[in-house]
Chains A and B, each alone.
Chain A
Amino acid sequence: MARRARSAVAWGVATGVALSLSACAGWGGGGIGGGGPNSINVLMVNNPQMVDLQRLTADNFTKETGITVNYTVLPENDVRDKISQEFTSQAGQYDVASLSNFEIPIYAKAGWIAPMDDFIAKDPEFDQEDILGPMTTSLSSEGKIYGQPFYGESSFLMYRKDILKAKGVTMPDRPTWPQVAEIAAKIDQAEPGMAGICLRGQPGWGQVFAPLTTVVNTYGGTWFEKDWTPKVNAPEFTEAVKFYVDLVRSHGERGAPQAGFTECLNNLTQGNAAMWYDATSAAGSLEADGSPVKGKLGYVAAPVLKTKSSGWLYAWSWSIQDASTKKDNAWKFISWASGKKYEQLVGEQLGWSKVPAGKRASTYENAEYLKVAGAFAGPTKEAIETADPENPGVQPRPAIGIQFVDIPEFPNLGTQVSQDVSAAIAGQTSVGDALDKGQQLAEDVAKRYQAKGK
């Protein structure tokens, strides 16, 4: 009967599909994808510089060395979770991961990542000396290097030269925060809808507290003293946060409590703000072709008060997992990705504004790069070179870090306190209350470290 025949065919097709899929699944031990034995697995965040890297790998790195690179690319929150799971359990699923100078000292102490000094010694072409000093320091632990930066950033103040000129205001060479607040007041609403300054307000230890901690540092405050006494509601910390919150509320952008990096970037590009204190990497987007504010911005060092410099330090870097069985190949990849030749490759094929900068001194001597990035290259390099991750403030610190405290509890602590600070920016709570709560949370964290006698 036709129905019988049809159902027989259906069963046949179904069985065939099932069998061939099983074959696919059996291939290569459990799935399609992945590469041969001469391959490495890399887990990284999906920032544009990494996406460019992914695109250029097959035709360059793989062709030269024969090593296939299998990438897993995820958004920042997801990738941080996967990285922490992978490295704490030493699962060996990935050989290289994009860690930052926050994770690397912690993972190094825990023995989850491999030291690189031997590889560096055998690879003179990599030229470790060319890597900017503060970068190397922040990626080392107990004298050994555990990570190589892919691209790095500090922070500085960006301002609309034309707006300041129109209002007859000059920007000092080394501004202080009170001076910046004055300037913001004078240029506020210079054009309709243009805020005097854009500052981050979004909750998150890496959002509002990145710039805010640097302000705290230069006002003489700190999260913890050397003996781990928390100082979150101390007078200096309080003064700094009050200053920041008042500045944002009086001359800052609309929607400040939710404004993060992307929002402020949009604000500056569209002319909704005249100044912006944030990452040096923002300049690349602001000066890109097609940006409405290209050529109109001036760049000056991060405002200070009681310290010589106050820019932060952050680098997306590569580390090799200690459980990896392919460390040699992993190093070859890192040497290529963070090497001088790769920067040249990106400059020639994708454009000089896309070069992953902020890590090598040689980048800032490259004439072609400077042609495109001349406006901000100098201030960027200076900001990174003057950053001091071991001594960012006026008092000694118990842990490394400028805009963070390099302990595993900090993301949780910083994010929780930042939520109250955001609320203060929104006017829903007072700075004093927010910091009192923060002090309690910091005391819980401090207990563990004081008990250890660290």
Chain B
Amino acid sequence: MATASATGSNGAAMRKAGDWARRAPLLPALIFVIAMTQLPFVATVVISFMNWNAYYPDERGFAGFDNYVSTFTDTNARSAVIVTIVLTTSVVLLSLLLGLGIALLLDRKFRGRSAVRTMMITPFLIVPVAAALLWKHALYNPEYGLFNGILTWIFGEGAPQPDWISDNPLLAIIVAIVWQWTPFMMLILLAGLQSRPLDVIEAARIDGASTWQIFTHMTLPHLRQYIELAGLLGAIYVVQNFDHVFTITSGGLGTANLPYYIYQTFYTAQDYGRASAAGVVVVIGTIIIATAALRTAFSLFKEESR
């Protein structure tokens, strides 16, 4: 905070010492993260240039860009990219919308409000693989799942008993993930709603503004940072989703997303080179998209420094 105002080498030395004093507390965490993430990443890059198939250990060798070429030409890889994009955007958008709606509902005072909030938080607190198992076997199963059971209850013997997962595999996964992430979005947006300056809003209302006008011109802009934060965090985690795809459809029926595709290339095809190349491509792609989003549309990182 206090900048050295002394002139000459004395001032420069002091400033340097000050800079290092500021950096010192950051170093342990920084070094740790670099060691634990960049080193494996470098190793992954190295492997991506190799021809390494575990079933044929004698054929290990340098492969140049072959693995990258196959990643881009493999239809399964391309489909995995599309599935990842569709899955992530649908989940984030749906849970943001739902979360916003429910946050608006919970922003009012009513009887049992904290009970409802507790109920809403619960899905987020179930272990993800447990939730995926719950949806696959206890809810979606066409023979003894809850959904078809409810249909039989209502419509009797001739009730439609759709095979939820086989008929709409990607949608089934999306719904299960949205169920878990809506509470997360809702909590962030609710806090945003509750931090609105009420007096200004009351003033606007007194001046005759309608609920809709207040919502679009005052509430939403205030919520913008919260929406960005919720969307960003949600996207980071949902892009990596593995448990649900693995459990609900085992990547079949066209629902293999990028993490699952990479996992399959590792474990079924045992092609380590190609799997690593796919991983590198994912990282580069995500960084490009994230940088673009964060530096342009998002206002999250634009703050005054101290």
Which positions in A face B, CB cutoff 8 Å? 77, 81, 84-85, 88-89, 106, 110, 203, 255, 257-258, 266, 408, 411-412, 419
Which residues of A have CB within 8 Å of B252? 203, 419
CA distance A340 to B286 in the complex (A): 58
Which residues of A have CB within 8 Å of B54? 84, 88-89
Known: A88-B54, A88-B55, A203-B252. A255 touches B163 (CB 8 A): yes
Segment with Cβ contacts to A, from B11-19, B119-127, B219-227, B265-273: B265-273
CA distance A110 to B58 in the complex (A): 10
CA distance A203 to B142 in the complex (A): 17
Q: What are 7 A-B pairs at a CB distance below 8 A?
A: A81-B267, A88-B55, A203-B252, A257-B166, A266-B143, A412-B268, A419-B252
Q: Does A106 contact B55, Cβ atoms closer than 8 Å? A: yes
CA distance A266 to B166 in the complex (A): 18
How many whole Å from B20's CB to the nearest CB in chain A? Answer: 31
Q: Does B250 contact A (CB under 8 A)?
A: yes
Closest to B58 in A: A110
Partner of A411, one of B143, B163, B268: B268
CA distance A253 to B252 in the complex (A): 22
Provide the main secondary structure of the chain B interface.
loop
Q: Does A258 contact B269, Cβ atoms closer than 8 Å? A: no
Provide the main secondary structure of the chain A interface.
helix
Which residues of B have CB within 8 Å of A203? 252
How many whole Å from A205's CB to the nearest CB in chain B? Answer: 10
How many whole Å from B274's CB to the nearest CB in chain A? Answer: 13
Which residues of B have CB within 8 Å of A412? 268-269
Partner of B267, one of A85, A110, A419: A85
By the criterion of a CB under 8 Å from any partner CB, how many residues of chain B are at the interface? 13
Known: A77-B250, A408-B55. A88 touches B166 (CB 8 A): no
Which residues of A have CB within 8 Å of B268? 81, 411-412
Q: Does B166 contact A84, Cβ atoms closer than 8 Å? A: no
Excluding A88-B54, A258-B166, 9 further A-B contacts by CB distance (< 8 Å) are: A81-B268, A84-B54, A106-B55, A255-B142, A257-B166, A266-B143, A408-B270, A412-B268, A419-B252
CA distance A266 to B143 in the complex (A): 10
Which residues of B have CB within 8 Å of A408? 55, 270
Which residues of B have CB within 8 Å of A85? 267
A-B CB contacts (within 8 Å), total count: 27
Known: A106-B55, A110-B55. A84 touches B270 (CB 8 A): yes
CA distance A44 to B250 in the complex (A): 20
CA distance A431 to B166 in the complex (A): 21
CA distance A266 to B270 in the complex (A): 35
Q: Does A84 contact B163, Cβ atoms closer than 8 Å? A: no
How many whole Å from A227's CB to the nearest CB in chain B? Answer: 20
CA distance A255 to B270 in the complex (A): 33
Q: Which 10 A-B pairs have CB atoms at the shortest separation, nearest pair first?
A: A88-B54, A81-B267, A408-B55, A258-B166, A412-B268, A412-B269, A84-B267, A77-B250, A258-B163, A411-B268
Which residues of A have CB within 8 Å of B267? 81, 84-85
Per-residue contact bits, chain B 144-167, to A (CB 8 Å; 1 contact, 0 not): 000000000000000000010010
Closest to A270 in B: B143
How many whole Å from B121's CB to the nearest CB in chain A? Answer: 24
How many whole Å from A447's CB to the nearest CB in chain B? Answer: 14
Which residues of B have CB within 8 Å of A419? 252
Q: Does B163 contact A88, Cβ atoms closer than 8 Å? A: no
How many whole Å from B282's CB to the nearest CB in chain A? Answer: 20
How many whole Å from A110's CB to the nearest CB in chain B? Answer: 7
Which residues of A have CB within 8 Å of B270? 84, 88, 408
How many whole Å from B27's CB to the nearest CB in chain A? Answer: 24
A88, A106, A266 — most chain B CB neighbours (10 Å): A88
How many whole Å from A261's CB to the nearest CB in chain B? Answer: 14
Which residues of B have CB within 8 Å of A88? 54-55, 270
Which residues of A have CB within 8 Å of B143? 266
CA distance A255 to B267 in the complex (A): 30
How many whole Å from B61's CB to the nearest CB in chain A? Answer: 15
Which residues of A have CB within 8 Å of B55? 88, 106, 110, 408
CA distance A88 to B270 in the complex (A): 9
How many whole Å from B107's CB to the nearest CB in chain A? Answer: 32
CA distance A89 to B57 in the complex (A): 10
Which residues of B have CB within 8 Å of A266? 143
Closest to A87 in B: B54
How many whole Å from A405's CB to the nearest CB in chain B? Answer: 14
| Residues 143-199 (chain B) with a chain A CB within 8 angstroms | 143, 163, 166
CA distance A266 to B144 in the complex (A): 12
| Residues 31-64 (chain B) with a chain A CB within 8 angstroms | 54-55, 57
How many whole Å from B148's CB to the nearest CB in chain A? Answer: 12
Per-residue contact bits, chain B 233-262, to A (CB 8 Å; 1 contact, 0 not): 000000000000000001010000000000
How many whole Å from A426's CB to the nearest CB in chain B? Answer: 10
Which residues of B have CB within 8 Å of A89? 54
